[in-house]
Structure 1
Amino acid sequence: MTLAERMYNLGTETAFEVLAKARALEAQGRDIIHLEIGEPDFDTPKHIVDAGVRALQEGYTHYGPTPGLPELREAIARNSREVRGIDTDPGQVVVTPGAKPIMFYVILALAEPGAEVIYPNPGFPIYESMIRFSGATPVPMQLLEEKDYHPDLNDLATKITDRTRLIIINSPENPCGSALTKDELETIANLARGKNLYVMADEIYKDILYTGEHFSIAAFPEMAKQTVILDGFSKSYAMTGWRLGYGIMPEELVPHITRLAVNSVSCAASFSQRAAIAALDGPQDDVQAMAAEFAQRRRLIADGLRSIPGINCPEPEGAFYVFPSIKETGISSAEFEERALNEAGVALLSGSAFGAFGEGYVRLSYANSQENIKTALERLSGFVESLV
């Protein structure tokens, strides 16, 4: 069978591959601590589940409009006005099954052979995968360990050319846990404003921020006209299995993104959308409690990793990941991932899975209990001491 050449440009998310390996070891009786999956270890808040059940009982089991139920698009626009201070119209919102389709559609709509897309590296691996799939050239914006995984914006300025069609930013960031400051966002806005390009601001972790308040690049003057905000419900509301995300974008993009959705997914599940309204309009206590628990785990895991000789770990500013350097161990990121799983019983991810600049690092998700994190740290300490 002959595959289309573009299929060889598609990457993957290795978190699911490592999870499969970990599950296989568990089936053999091994005790594995899971720090590989980027999924909150909390249940969806009860009032959201109740709204979803009620929607099923009320018959929300049929197709809905491709860009989303009108009442959810209104709720998202209203929430964006409150959270971001941006004058958002419901007509700018497109709802999709998960947030990845927004990423997929925006890159497909804008990128093509001869075009360039700037993206964070180390970064979410699907960015580079989709850029290559579109035929465009991926241009990495390196996140620097010595800057606590913030980019050199002077270097970014040199990367923007007449071929640049899209700049992707992710704040708070996966895998590094860094969060762009308002000043950094303003600098990026100044670099992008008025040029023939868009910014895709991946804000999926905006509610898990440990210092300061979330600020969107779209809030700067004129930038709403050039920005696609990518967001969703998986991380903030522990709704990964509900598969629901959305994009807020300039109105001229909406029909194109909607047409891509028509050709691929038709629409998001109607009952999930009804539950999402309850998520946005209901109490936010569970979101705040989850973020507070992540803050405690952040300190536990970052301090614990820094206490291990040969490990350097900048302090995460948001999300629920640490991205420590393991360069002093003398082994590659991939080998560290494999041996940590098989020898220490700790599932984590090689930094090289997040781009070329991730080599020498690993990603650990602290979406697990404090007790399990402590055990994982003890195991990793013994493992690393055997290496250095």
Structure 2
Amino acid sequence: MTASTTAGVAREFSERIGRFEVSATAVVVAEAAKLKAAGVALSDFGAGEPHFPTPRHIKDAAIAAIEQNFTRYTATPGITEVRRAIVERHAADFGSDYSLDEAIFTTSGKLAIFYAISALIDHGDEVIVPVPYWVSYKDMVQYMGARPVFLETSEADNFRITAEAIELLITPSTRAIILNSPSNPSGAVMDTADLERVVRMAHERGIYVLLDECYAYLTYKGSPVSGGSYTEAKEHVVVLGSLSKTYAMTGWRAGFALAPKPIIAAMGKLQSQTTSSSAHFVQKAAVAALSESQQCVAEMRADYLKLRDEALAGLSEIPEITCTVPEGAFYVYPNVKAYLGRPGAQTSMELASRLLQEGHVVTVPGEAFGTHEHLRLSYATSHEMVAEGMARMKAFFADLRNKA
């Protein structure tokens, strides 16, 4: 306990840390790790992490940077080369128009999101967050003393986010809208027309749109789209990117943001007082990832599409489980409502735990993402793992039906 007290009662932690919950994904990973340590072979669909190794040319760039002693502090927003690579890659692929002063390289895309929310969101603000949502949005917003306003989407409509639905939730307190397309966990991709309408509408009303483009390049239908393309509205747009999923660089912790100069400067202030900068050799590797051939991205995306179809085929063989067809990212989000309410499986959280302990399949319960009838499975794994995992799930749910 600390020495500080309030009205004679010892206070151990700050009030704001109580607004955070431990990441549900991290909890699942920890529980699975215990079983693995005990020698249990698991079909792991838990953490959203590419099964591919980081491409050779990216690793070589990092090794060369270390050998050349690029291991010291850099400018807080990142070296010139990496910011130029970010700006040029996004402009080439999406037609955006950012300068070097409108780009920052961060230690992960997650930290870029946290910096943006910290810089823009204040106590009493409202932030519109579509459901299902990535696990950290709610907690980050609440940590700032703001209120997440949840936009419930319809599974029957493939979790579609519409401009009309967002407009109905806007109040004088609305400060920002968070959009993640393709979506983690559902794999839903926002319609281009709706995305454009939301960006333009928000700009007209002075509301910021925080675009989490972590999976922007992992789309299976049409070309990748960015809200950063609507350059006349860029004053209220913050593009938040990550190299983790696009280039299989999760452990490198490489992310970035593109936004008007004042916003980037504010985010830079936060970075200067936290990490100071990202690792120099990681920035050099990022330059190679962004500037050199993008063939590796196309190859990984093609394999993810095959894995998606294999996962969907496996789920379709389990009676009473339904699943929307993901148009991007590398997750399936099956509805398991028919199996809930049973002893030991009252909720999707309990069901996921039983599936892990009895079926030896790692999933993440829907409660982590704001829904109560789903499990999230990441199919970013081997084809053999998908086949084995689907067979285990089929057997587990058959056993659960027989016990009813």
Instruction: State the match for 2:362 in structure 1.
Output: 347
Q: Using the alignment, how far apart are the partners of 1:48 and 1:29 within structure 2? A: 34
Q: Please say if 1:36 is aligned against 2:46.
A: yes
Percent pairwise identity: 36
Residue 229 (structure 1) aligns with:
239
Are the aligned partners of 2:185 and 2:333 in contact in 1 as well (CA < 8 Å)?
Answer: yes
1:164-197 residue CA offsets vs partner (Å, 9 max, x unmatched): 1110000111001011121111221233122122
Aligned to 1:98: 108
**In structure 1, distance between residues paired with 2:29 and 2:220:** 28
**Aligned equivalents of 1:17, 1:95: Cα separation in 2:** 28
Compute the displacement of 1:236 (Å).
Answer: 0.6
**Unpaired stretches in structure 1, ≥5 consecutive residues:** none
Alpha-carbon offset, residue 339 of structure 1: 0.7
Per the alignment, in what secondary structure is the counterpart of residue 117 of structure 1?
Answer: strand
CA distance in 2 between counterparts of 1:7 and 1:273 reads 31
Question: What is the match of residue 175 of structure 1?
Answer: 185
Partner residue, 1:269: 279
Residue 14 of structure 1 deviates from its aligned partner by: 1.7
SS in 1 for 2:204: coil
CA distance in 2, matches of 1:86, 1:25: 46
Deviations 1:204-248 (A, max 9, x none): 111111000111112225221210000021101111111110000
The match for 1:360 among 373, 384, 394 is 373
Q: Measure, in 2, the Cα distance between the counterparts of 1:341 and 1:55.
A: 42
How far 1:56 moved relative to its partner? 0.5
For residues 339 and 157 of structure 2, the distance between their equivalents in structure 1, rounded to whole angstroms, comes to 22
Match of 1:385 in 2: 398
Which amino acid is the alignment partner of residue 33 of structure 1? S
Name the residue aligned to 2:76: 66
**Offset of residue 34 of structure 1:** 0.7
> 3-state SS of the aligned residue for 1:222?
helix
- State the alpha-carbon separation in 1 of the partners of residues 184 and 130 from structure 2: 10
Please point out which of 168, 176, 179 is paired with 1:166. 176
Report the secondary structure of 1:150's partner residue.
coil
Residue matched to 1:145: 155
The count of corresponding residues between Structure 1 and Structure 2 is 386
Larger radius of gyration: 2
Aligned-pair CA distance for 1:252: 1.7
The unaligned stretches of length 5 or more in structure 2 are 2-11, 342-346
1:22 pairs with 2:35: no
Q: Work out whether residues 343 and 383 of structure 1, in 8 Å CA contact, stay in contact via their aligned partners in 2.
A: yes
Matches within 5 A, 1:83-122: 83-122=93-132
8 Å CA contact 1:298–1:320 kept in 2: the answer is: yes
Does the 8 Å CA contact 2:216/2:226 hold for their aligned counterparts? Answer: no
Q: 2:296 aligns with which of 281, 286, 291?
A: 286
Q: Aligned letter for 1:352?
A: E
Q: What is the root-mean-square deviation in Å for CA atoms of aligned residues?
A: 1.2
**Following the alignment from structure 2 to structure 1, what is the Cα–Cα distance between the partners of residues 159 and 111?**
26
SS at match of 1:38: coil
Q: 2:153 is paired with a residue of what secondary structure?
A: strand
**Paired residue for 1:376, among 389, 400, 404?**
389
C-alpha distance in 1, partners of 2:285/2:226? 25
> Partner of 2:305: helix, strand, or coil?
helix
Identify the range of structure 1 (303-312 vs 33-42) with the bigger mean alpha-carbon deviation.
303-312
- Once the two structures are superposed, residues 121-172 of structure 1 have per-residue CA deviations (whole angstroms, 9 ceiling, x without a partner) of 2111110000000000111122321111112442211111111111000011
Partner AA of 1:305 in structure 2: L
Q: Find the residue that maps to 2:349 and give its secondary structure.
A: helix
Q: Secondary structure at the match of 1:253?
A: helix
How far apart, in 2, do the equivalents of 1:131 and 1:42 lie?
32
Aligned structure 1 segments of 4 or more residues deviating by more than 3 angstroms: none
2:63 maps to 1:53: yes
